[in-house]
Amino acid sequence: MKIGFIGLGNMGAPMAANLAKAGHDVTGFDMANIVVDGVNLASSAADAAKEQDVVITMLPNGAILRSVAADVLPAMNKGAALVDCSTVDVDSARAVAADAAAAGLLFVDAPVSGGVGGATAGTLTFMAGGTQEGFAKTAPLFDIMGQKAVHCGDAGAGQAAKICNNMILGVTMIATCEAFALADKLGLDRQKMFDVVSTSSGYSWTMNAYCPAPGVGPQSPADNGYKPGFAAELMLKDLRLSQQAAESADADTPMGQTAMALYEKFVEQEEGLGMDFSAMLPRFEGRGRG
């Protein structure tokens, strides 16, 4: 396929490189003029989108997605597909989908899970929303960039799946870190706690696969000074998106709201900026009840 790729940052660059390695004709654009092996560079987002079968975006937020879409949709051929792999608010995804449909184009919102490591290795998971036609057209590209793609429903469903998943992740990580800090104060050995919880009703991905306690469980960012991993500020972004969606949908999400408030404090007032989201554990370690 002929592919335009807009947004060649930490995630977008390796994704675009993997598409080029697989033999696709990839033209990229990034405001920072990033060079990617095998990828031709365009002078603008609109130029990257011209005459392409599929245009992929990987962008920081919904406002930027809307702005880029306004530039690229008029430049795209009828019947081409715009695939947004950013994590953005559901309303922005649905607004761009409506604009694409009005222009005779396909749109798929397909946020990813797996981080930079997954982008480089081609093992991402894609959560896709949009029409069946749009998903069918772009599924072969998901197979190159990732190991799994799930068609979650209509436009916005991919973003909904991502933010619901990451709301669970944020809440669960906080609970896991709180429990380790409490175990410390109760004199319970961390390894013994892991041995019990990881095989009991308290098991979770944050405990079993991404344990926030250094030297306990499989290798994780906790064993590397809490270097990301998944940065705390990115978790904060996703929790804010979850609460924005909850407000829009009139959904009661008190745990998600509390998690957002804790990560806001951690990132903006404490030492969390630039740390892995599991660095909540040393935060709780140093705090008392008050």
CA 50/CA 32 separation, integer angstroms: 20
- Global pTM reads 0.91
pLDDT of the residue at 65: 98
Q: Which residue numbers are catalytic?
A: 162
Quick one: what percent of the chain has pLDDT higher than 90? 97
Per-residue pLDDT at 290 exceeds 80: no
**Can you give the CATH number for the domain in which 235 is found?**
1.10.1040.10
- 22 shares a domain with 37: yes
- Please, what sign has the CA dihedral across residues 239, 240, 246, 252? positive
Question: What range does the domain containing 50 cover?
Answer: 2-153
Q: Phi/psi at 147 (nearest 5 deg)?
A: -105, -15
Domain boundary among 153, 175, 205: 153
Per-residue pLDDT at 195 exceeds 90: yes
Tokens of residue 201, six digits: 């009703």
CA 127/CA 158 separation, integer angstroms: 5
Tokens of residue 276, six digits: 């892995």
pLDDT digits (tens, 9 = 90+) for 112-149: 999 888 999 999 999 999 999 999 999 999 999 999 99
143 exposed, middle or buried (CB, 10 Å; 0-12, 13-18, 19+)?
Answer: middle
Per-residue pLDDT at 33 exceeds 90: no
Per-residue pLDDT at 45 exceeds 90: yes
Look at the chain and report how many structural domains it folds into.
Answer: 2
Which ranges constitute the DSSP H helices of 44-156?
Answer: 45-49, 62-72, 90-102, 115-121, 132-145
Residue positions counted in the chain: 290
**Residues 81-97, mean pLDDT to the nearest whole number:** 97
- 212 shares a domain with 82: no
**Residues 55-70, mean pLDDT to the nearest whole number:** 97
pLDDT digits (tens, 9 = 90+) for 196-255: 999 999 999 999 999 999 999 999 999 999 999 899 999 999 999 999 999 999 999 999
- Please, what sign has the CA dihedral across residues 233, 237, 239, 244? positive
**Residues 3-16, mean pLDDT to the nearest whole number:** 97
Domain boundary among 153, 174, 192: 153
Tokens of residue 179, six digits: 């429990």
